[in-house]
Amino acid sequence: MTTKVISFGCKPPRENLDLIDAQISLGHRYYNKLIELHRKQMEDCENARRERFPEFAAIEMDVAEAEANVTRIVDDIRANNAKAKRKRATPEESSALSEAKARLKELRAVRKTIRAAIAEDAGLQKHLASIYEASATAKKEARANCGVYWGTYQKVENAVESAIKKSKGPPRFARWNHDGMYGQVAVQVMGGGTWQEMLIGKGKIGSLIRAEPAPCKRTSEKTARPWQFSLRISSDENRKPVWASVMAYVSPNFMP
């Protein structure tokens, strides 16, 4: 099955604008809550390692300093080469760089040995596993209490995972705005659906997304026409859908 992803610029919601804003606000809070929980998990694990292996923190700092020193020397050589209009480092510079790289290699070897000891320490690994388990439980509770509809909270969680992977240290909290992954509302249709199901409100997709043509004075078949798209953003106390609607102009080329 071929998947087609199409984006449209939409006008502001015609219905339930306040609920859209509420979902975006709650999504932002949920994003930062997950970041908070992940940072706590990292901190707890770091403290556990330091308590069992006090030398772990020191070697990490030494490696970071050695890496920074190698980078500084390389940058200085490049700047000096550009200034002197030369292509190679001086013997003194080459010697300093070699010494710095050798020191870095030595420290990394020590760190590797300590990391191996950490991995083989059954007591520490059991402690770390309990930290991960507690963090996973806290994240499940955060999801249950976030107040964000399921399609949107999945998008928030994906954004958090992406931020964690890209971050070299603890992931940062997000400042409030209406942009970014946490500034959206979304639904996910498991198994997909058809355009006809959206039109008649049937199937899984019909319970989450609906579409209907809006009145239009234009008659040309080549002209984009307005459509009203309704997105399920919540459920009421009877588990019935709560909709938000937007208007989008769709080119005939995109129509099934």
Over 90: is that where the pLDDT of 112 sits?
yes
Range in 70-74, 163-167, 203-207, 239-243 with the lowest mean pLDDT: 203-207
Decide: helix, strand or coil at residue 157: helix
Q: Measure the CA angle with vertex 154, ends 16 and 237; round to 5°.
A: 45
Residue-level pLDDT at 241: 85
Percent of the chain with pLDDT over 90: 50
- % of residues, the chain, pLDDT over 70: 88
Give residue 76's pLDDT band: very low, low, confident or very high (50, 70, 90): very high
pLDDT of 99 reads 97
CA angle 47, 52, 54 (to 5 degrees): 75
Structural contact between residues 23 and 243, judged by C-beta atoms closer than 8 angstroms: no
Over residues 194-216, the pLDDT tens digits come to: 777 777 677 777 788 888 887 77
DSSP letter assigned to residue 237: T
Greatest mean pLDDT range, 34-43, 168-177, 233-242: 34-43
- Smallest Cα–Cα separation from 209: which of 237, 187, 176, 177? 187
Strand order in the sheet with 241-250: 209-213, 225-235, 241-250
The DSSP letter of residue 149 is -
The mean predicted confidence, pLDDT, of the chain is 86
- The predicted pLDDT at position 32 comes to 95
Mean pLDDT within 235-240: 85
d(CA 185, CA 168): 28
175, 171, 216, 244: which is closest to 10 by C-alpha?
244
- Token readout for 163 is 């931020």
pLDDT mean over 33-41: 97
Predicted confidence at residue 217, as pLDDT, reads: 72
CA pair distance 141, 186, nearest whole angstrom: 21
**C-alpha–C-alpha distance, residues 28 and 160, integer Å:** 11
Query: Do residues 243 and 187 touch, judged by C-beta distance below 8 A?
Result: no
More confident residue, 143 or 217: 143
Task: Inform me whether the pLDDT recorded for 2 exceeds 70.
Answer: no
Tally Cβ neighbours within 10 Å of residue 7: 6
- For 101-115, what is the mean pLDDT? 96
* Cα distance between residue 111 and residue 60, in whole Å: 7
